[in-house]
């Protein structure tokens, strides 16, 4: 075994479903300037207002999907870590969370103390966004800089269009799509439009179509919405899905800002009113099931769909620790370029 470690990083989770733990987690998450990109005083005021009622609401939601082993996101990420240990033969495989525990700082510090000098940093996000990919990379760089660690990174790039990822997605979803259903909805996590326009001024979302149609690669490289649409289209093509059998939406809005559309809630209502009785929902922005998939879609989405006239909503599990995904992730991480 060499000293080239693999560090998997996912979003994170509260330590428990207690309101105090949820409040602490939400405070860390929402105070990240890559998540709420407002000046610190404004961000602090806004988050303080959110934290008046939101922790209790979120604690109830977490409790409804919490497993005996703990947070589904953390448990499933641990299982992926174990699966990757058999795949990654160059060194140890570690897991960190951007928010909550185990923190990126604690894991990197421990690895450096063990003499590890080369780390492939793997943010587990298929599509690029500052609020996911950039904040993980910048936090890792901060730790190395402030702790003066002798660590060199290779960094897994967004893999939304990589064949290995898409093939794993198809393999994991195929058993669900081979059953009878009326429509497949690919629901991605949402983002405020300003996050995308900040990276590409002049970017337009009018009309609701592909915002990156005909755009140069450098624009697509930082357009989360465009990357989501490409993931969905490539998946549908691999599965042989006809037009009209599938569509794309965006979930998990927070606050009053304009978020990228179409919204998942509106799409579920529309599908039900169009006569769709059985809808399958995939969430390809997530590689592990979490509160956004299990509770927001699996519970609230189902309830909403039925209230609108639908009958059955089937949540297709995320990649989690699927063997195809572990093999794909190994290949993707081996290609990760050295960070300059």
CATH number at residue 28: 3.40.50.1400
The residue range of the domain holding 223 is 163-315
Clarify whether residues 273 and 171 are in a common domain.
yes
From CA 117, how far away is CA 113, in angstroms rounded?
A: 10
**Predicted local confidence at residue 63, as pLDDT:** 98
Give a yes or no: residue 340 inside a domain. no
Clarify whether residues 183 and 297 are in a common domain.
yes
Residues 131-150 pLDDT 10s = 999 999 999 999 999 999 99
Give a yes or no: residue 139 inside a domain. yes
Residues 288-335 pLDDT 10s = 999 999 999 999 999 999 999 999 999 999 999 999 999 999 999 999
Q: Look at 18-32, 95-109, 173-187, 250-264 and tell me which has the smallest mean pLDDT.
A: 250-264
pLDDT bin (cut points 50, 70, 90) of residue 208 is confident
Give a yes or no: residue 220 inside a domain. yes
Does the structure show a pLDDT above 70 at 209? yes
Q: Report the predicted TM-score, pTM, of the whole model to 2 decimal places.
A: 0.96
Q: How far is CA 312 from CA 182, 236, 279, in A?
A: 10, 21, 6
Clarify whether residues 205 and 293 are in a common domain.
yes
Residues 105-121 pLDDT 10s = 999 999 999 999 999 99
Does the structure show a pLDDT above 50 at 187? yes
Clarify whether residues 34 and 141 are in a common domain.
yes
**Predicted local confidence at residue 1, as pLDDT:** 46
Clarify whether residues 154 and 168 are in a common domain.
no
Read off the pLDDT of each residue in 123-137 and give the average, rounded to a whole number: 98
Element (H, E) at 326: helix 323-334
CB 132 within 8 A of CB 32: no
**Please, which residues have CB within 8 angstroms of residue 126's CB and are 6 or more apart in sequence?**
158, 159, 160, 165, 227, 231, 284, 285, 287
Read off the pLDDT of each residue in 77-94 and give the average, rounded to a whole number: 97
3-state secondary structure at position 162: coil
Read off the pLDDT of each residue in 164-186 and give the average, rounded to a whole number: 97
Give a yes or no: residue 147 inside a domain. yes
Dihedral sign computed on CA atoms, order 328, 333, 334, 336: positive
Q: Which positions make up the binding site for Fe(2+)?
A: 189, 292
Clarify whether residues 17 and 62 are in a common domain.
yes
Q: What is the mean pLDDT of the chain?
A: 96
Clarify whether residues 173 and 300 are in a common domain.
yes
pLDDT bin (cut points 50, 70, 90) of residue 2 is low
Q: Which positions make up the binding site?
A: 189, 292
Read off the pLDDT of each residue in 44-55 and give the average, rounded to a whole number: 96
Overall number of domains in the chain: 2
Read off the pLDDT of each residue in 165-177 and give the average, rounded to a whole number: 97
3-state secondary structure at position 18: coil
């Amino acid at each position: 075994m060499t000293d080239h470690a693999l560090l998997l990083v996912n979003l994170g989770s509260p330590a428990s479903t207690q309101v105090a733990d949820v409040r602490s987690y939400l405070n860390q998450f929402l105070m990240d300037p890559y998540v709420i990109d407002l000046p610190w005083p404004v961000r602090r005021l806004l988050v303080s207002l959110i934290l008046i009622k939101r922790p209790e609401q979120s604690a109830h939601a977490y409790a409804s999907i919490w497993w005996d082993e703990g947070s589904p996101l953390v448990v499933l990420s641990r299982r992926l870590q174990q699966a990757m240990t058999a795949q990654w033969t160059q060194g140890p495989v570690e897991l960190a969370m951007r928010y909550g525990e185990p923190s990126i700082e604690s894991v990197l510090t421990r690895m450096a103390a063990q003499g590890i000098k080369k780390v492939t940093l793997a943010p587990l996000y298929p599509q690029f966004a500052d609020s996911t990919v950039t904040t993980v990379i910048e936090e890792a760089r901060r730790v190395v800089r402030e702790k003066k660690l002798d660590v060199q990174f290779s960094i897994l790039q967004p893999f939304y269009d990589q064949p290995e990822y898409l093939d794993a997605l198809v393999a994991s979803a195929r058993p669900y799509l081979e059953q009878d259903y009326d429509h497949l909805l690919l629901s991605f996590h949402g983002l405020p439009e300003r996050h995308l326009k900040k990276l590409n001024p002049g970017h337009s979302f009018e009309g609701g179509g592909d915002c990156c149609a005909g755009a140069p690669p450098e624009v697509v490289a930082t357009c989360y919405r465009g990357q989501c649409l490409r993931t969905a289209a490539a998946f549908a093509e691999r599965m042989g899905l006809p037009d009209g059998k599938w569509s794309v939406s965006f979930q998990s809005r927070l606050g009053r800002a304009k978020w990228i559309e179409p919204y998942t809630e509106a799409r579920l209502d529309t599908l039900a009113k169009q006569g769709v009785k059985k809808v399958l929902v995939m969430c390809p922005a997530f590689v592990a099931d979490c509160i956004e998939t299990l509770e927001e879609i699996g519970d609230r989405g189902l309830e909403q769909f039925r209230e609108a006239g639908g009958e059955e909503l089937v949540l297709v599990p995320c990649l989690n620790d699927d063997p195809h995904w572990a093999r794909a992730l190994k290949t993707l991480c081996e290609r990760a370029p050295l960070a300059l």
